[in-house]
Structure 1
Amino acid sequence: MKSTGPLLLILLLVSCSVPKTTVPVGILTKEMPQVPLPDAIAAQVPPGYKAEVFMQDLNWPTSVDFDASGNVYVAEAGYVYGDPFAPARIFRISQSGEINLYADSFIGPITDILWHQNQLYVSHRGKISTVGANGAVQDVVTGLPSYGDHFNNQMTVGPDGKIYFGQGVATNSGVVGLDNAYPYIWLLLWPDVHDIPAKDIKLARESFLTPQASNVLARQGNLLSLASNVTYAVTSIFNRNKNTSLLVRTRGFQPFGEHKRIIKGQTKASGTILRMSVDGSGLEVFAWGLRNPFGVMWGPDGQLYVTDNAYDERGSRPIANAKDNIYQIRQDGWYGYPDYSSGIPVTDPQFQSERGSKLKFLMAEHPPVEQPWLTRPENAASTKFDFSTNDTFGYKGHMFLAEFGPATPITSDPHPGTGYVVVRIDPTTKEAQPFLSNSAPGPEGLESVVTPGPRHPVEGRFSPDGQTLYVVDIGVIHGDVAGAGPFPLPVPGTGVIWRITKAGATSAGPPANLSPLPARMNSPVPGK
């Protein structure tokens, strides 16, 4: 991957490339807020349960899983918005608490790990790979369309023995635009990236007149003379695109500036549930028309459940008031992207944004649209989940869903009442109740920053015996505003794995309060 450091600096400086936001424009924070150490006292759970800090000092943890010998595996993503340089790696923690670096050199972000048939499967940018007993990494699927806003996501083993996983889309709502240059950057690095349908589609005549990102930046020449390496990086990008016009007309499902009406479908498509054999062969589309199917899990009822993150109010085609959804996935079903939200046409007035023109369909024709099993609040950012299988832990059959919370101010207006929590959902009544929340949030605007409690949960995962719930908390990603506009300020080393058991019960897993800091690390596993 090419270095993006100079680009991050440039994009923070260029005011005319910033999406509209209602967050007041200020100045760059000179010092990051002090983030306290995690403390189980601030992790609120229902009466009769106990929370503890299982592991801390992590850089962007995203997933946890377990092997048959009782070892615990923890993945650090290696990439979050605002930090593209962290290492993407996996730790193995033994029953005694010994921490080893199990595997690394992945392409961030790692979004999920899955232990199956004595090997660890890793979902990381554009690939599904396996890690053998000696730590050797082997790619089983490559070339997934994960170089846009979203990536290939969680994996789960189906009743047919195949592995199912989610694949996100490249854009917010089907159209490559200026928001893909700032703050997401990829339009400048990979200008050919775009959404790919799973089946042949015909587009409507809707098109969008959008600023040419490279030329918008080029016209800020007075800001690009800060350092020679910055100027060199920008010049290299601008030279790729000889288009001198300031505005470009573009359509959905194709690279920025192209105008085709018929788009061919592909197997390695955006917004899909894909499935494959355990060796990576036989890759096929199981369902399509999703936006960012992040959590993917077969339930105890034999249904495939998927969380799908909703549209943001940004880009060339901003969509307002869209809510996250949980779907029961039907084979060959179409779930509405990019023209429906929660099974409702985006042309409905409730989705109209003041930031864009009147919403119209991108697709000329639509398959029958599937309806959500459950709708979650706007900007809850519903992520990964698991089901209780143990009467001792309780709530057998209930879903335990992590919700990251709003990425304010990057995606849209703040919604402080949603997310930052693990909710328990009764599948019979579909009633959702908080199960893990923060009892000591920080001050206004810093609720998930200056706090010792849970910040941004991204996964709930039960131990193999079902008696312990592990919650992966990616850590502090603080949204700040500079003179150029909003951008993320992540705080490394703030990731936590929380562990929840019944009060009085003893977890069968490793001891608590572990840390992968170098002073406590052991040597890598043999063969690495």
Structure 2
Amino acid sequence: MKKLLKVLSILIFISAAAFTIQFYFNKTHPKIQVELKDNALSCNLKYSGLEGSVDFTKDEKNNYYIAYKDRIQVIGKNGKSCDIMKDPVLDIHSIDYSKDNLYYSSGDKIYRYNLKQGKNTVLLKNIPNYGDYKDSLLRINGDCIYISIGSATNSAVVGDDNKWVKENFYAHDVTPEDITLGGINFGKYRRGAFQSYNTRSLKGQIVPKHFPGNASVITYDINNGNSETFAWGIRNINGMDFTSTNKLICSVGGMENRGSRPVVGDTDYIYEIKKGIWYGWPDYSGGDPVISPKFKSVKGSPLQFVLDNHPSTNPPAPLYQHKNVGTLGSIAVDSSGNLKSKDCIFFYDNSDNMIYSSRGAGSPLAEIELGKNSIISSMKICDESLMILDEKEGYLYSIKRGKVNAGTEIGRNIYLYLLLTVILSIILILKNQNS
């Protein structure tokens, strides 16, 4: 009996120790809610506790900078973190790094934060970020900042779907280039395109250009401060990155079935955005005119062009046409081919919480399935890895080629160790009883 009690005591001690180790590991190494479809890839949890984060970047010393709505946090290569700046009036959406400076968008401004001096400087202001797509993305390529400016409306007409009109009654889409209106007005109140709420447009009416304008990409030269319109007619950009040959790749949202000028049948797209090109919004989408069979009219609101004398009757077609509208999010381009083929595009679809890869031809491949509660706010290629920021769960994942790190393997094997311990203990008990 004493031997039996001794064996039971050992069993209890080992089990308690195993559960304690598992509890500590779960606390310090949260379970990865990621399913990889490609066995050649592995997932590692880089950082946790980043709930509410909107974007991230890193410097050449492997310090990570995490942007939140009103603050920026630095996580050193030693794992220690602190806020380097915080301001409750900020509304940060996007961040990037270059040469000891952080560049970020907030509200209607673009800022530079000098890390050595701790100095904040406004580079651009009065960006028309007041409508439906008011969050500018920015990405740096060389010495140039590329900045997206979304449309204020769904399809250029201010309607009852634009709730912001209550606070900004006279706001509307402003054009970055001169346009001529066709005089088409919509609904009971005869609402016109590029006009304020309940205001008609006239045939032949010229709307003068404004810089910066809505539905465009602008550039800012870091060295001399010059800025200009890069491309326009781009409804709303949800992701930006560059290929190995410095081509700008963007995920773009299509027009939706809402407002005074609803559009049925549109989808999201991935485009290569080239300098000086008009991409069709609000009269074309995906390279097709809104009056084509691809799009369906809504009763009482037949689809018509709102512009006369289009800048082009053949806007560029996208690299990829998605199956849904309003679901494409962040993208990242594997410009070096460390994960897939060179210049492979990874994109996030929030409808199924899946990250796909596309090579510009054929159907995209499902690569990474995320947890049902995940919301991906940003993706970037860093250090031969696809870094994925989950703002809801607060995780920064690293996807790379090769085996998962040893720490994660230990976490997965704790249960196996515990099971073997229990089996061994039972064998000892049975042997003790038979002796």
Normalised TM-score (structure 1)? 0.66
Distance in 2 separating the partners of 1:370 and 1:394: 26
Question: How has the CA–CA distance of structure 1 residues 54 and 353 changed in structure 2, closer, same or farther, with 3 Å as cutoff?
Answer: farther
Select the residue among 155, 175, 196 that pairs with 1:173: 155
Name the amino acid aligned to 2:133: H
Partner of 1:110: 92
Q: 2:4 maps to what in 1?
A: none
CA shift at 1:504, angstroms? 2.5
1:65 and 2:57 are equivalent in the alignment: yes
Displacement of 1:200 in angstroms is: 1.1
Alpha-carbon separation, structure 2, partners of 1:423 and 1:376: 11
2: CA distance between counterparts of 1:145 and 1:204?
A: 24
State how 1:152-191 maps to structure 2 within 5 Å: 152-158=135-141, 161-181=143-163, 186-191=164-169
Is contact 2:44-2:404 (8 Å) kept? no
Check if 1:433 corresponds to 2:365: yes
Q: CA 1:149–1:60 in structure 2 vs 1: closer, same or farther (change >3 Å)?
A: farther
Partner of 1:422: 355
Counterpart residue type for residue 278 of structure 1: I
Aligned pair in 2 of structure 1 residues 157, 392: CA closer, same or farther (>3 Å)?
A: closer
Among 379, 388, 404, the residue aligned to 1:471: 388
- Provide the rounded CA distance (Å) in 1 between the counterparts of 2:88 and 2:300: 38
Match of 1:10 in 2: none
Q: 1:94 offset after TM fit, Å?
A: 0.8
Equivalent residue number for residue 179 of structure 2:
201
Q: Does 1:460 align with 2:382?
A: no
> Between Structure 1 and Structure 2, how many residues are aligned?
373
Deviation at 1:73, TM superposition (A): 1.1
- 2:77 pairs, out of 81, 90, 95, with 95
Q: Indicate the structure whose relative CO is greater, using CA pairs within 8 Å and at least 6 residues apart.
A: 1
d(CA) in 1 for partners of 2:44, 2:297: 42
Q: Indicate if the aligned counterparts of 1:38 and 1:496 stay in contact, CA closer than 8 A.
A: no
Compute the TM-score of the two structures, normalised by the length of structure 2: 0.79
Deviation at 1:294, TM superposition (A): 2.6
| 1:501 to partner: Cα distance | 2.6
Q: Give the Cα separation in 1 of the matches to 2:178 and 2:399.
A: 47
Mapping 1:353-432, distance limit 5 Å: 353-354=297-298, 357-368=301-312, 369-379=315-325, 381-390=327-336, 393-405=339-351, 419-427=352-360, 429=361, 431-432=363-364
Which AA in structure 2 matches 1:137? N
When Rg is computed on C-alpha atoms for both structures, the one with the higher figure is: 2
Residues in 1 aligned to 2:134 and 2:30: alpha-carbon distance in whole angstroms: 29
Report the equivalent of 1:46.
38
Structure 2: which 5+ residue stretches go unaligned? 1-28, 412-435
Q: Which residue type is aligned with residue 131 of structure 1?
A: Y
1:139 to 116, 122, 126: 122
* 1:272-287 correspondence to structure 2 within 5 Å: 272-278=216-222, 281-287=225-231
Q: Deviation string for 1:166-185 (max 9, x for gaps)?
A: 1101011101111112xxxx
1:349 deviates by: 3.7
> Contact 1:402–1:458 (CA<8 Å) still a contact in 2?
no
> Structure 1 pair 392/314, CA: closer, same or farther in 2 (3 Å)?
closer
Cα 1:396–1:121 shift into 2, 3 Å = same
Q: Distance in 2 between matches of 1:152 and 1:137?
A: 20
Cα 1:361/1:497, change in 2 over 3 Å: same
CA shift, 1:144, in A, is 0.3
1-side partners of 2:348 and 2:326: how far apart? Answer: 9
Question: Is 1:270 matched up with 2:214?
Answer: yes
Asked if 1:319 corresponds to 2:237, the answer is: no
CA RMSD of aligned residues (A): 2.5
% identical equivalent positions: 24
Q: Deviation string for 1:467-499 (max 9, x for gaps)? A: x22112232xxxxxxxxxxxxxxxxxx443222
Q: Kindly state the Cα deviation for residue 379 of structure 1 after the two structures are TM-superposed.
A: 2.6
Compute the displacement of 1:330 (Å). 2.0
Q: Shift in Å at residue 380 of structure 1?
A: 5.7
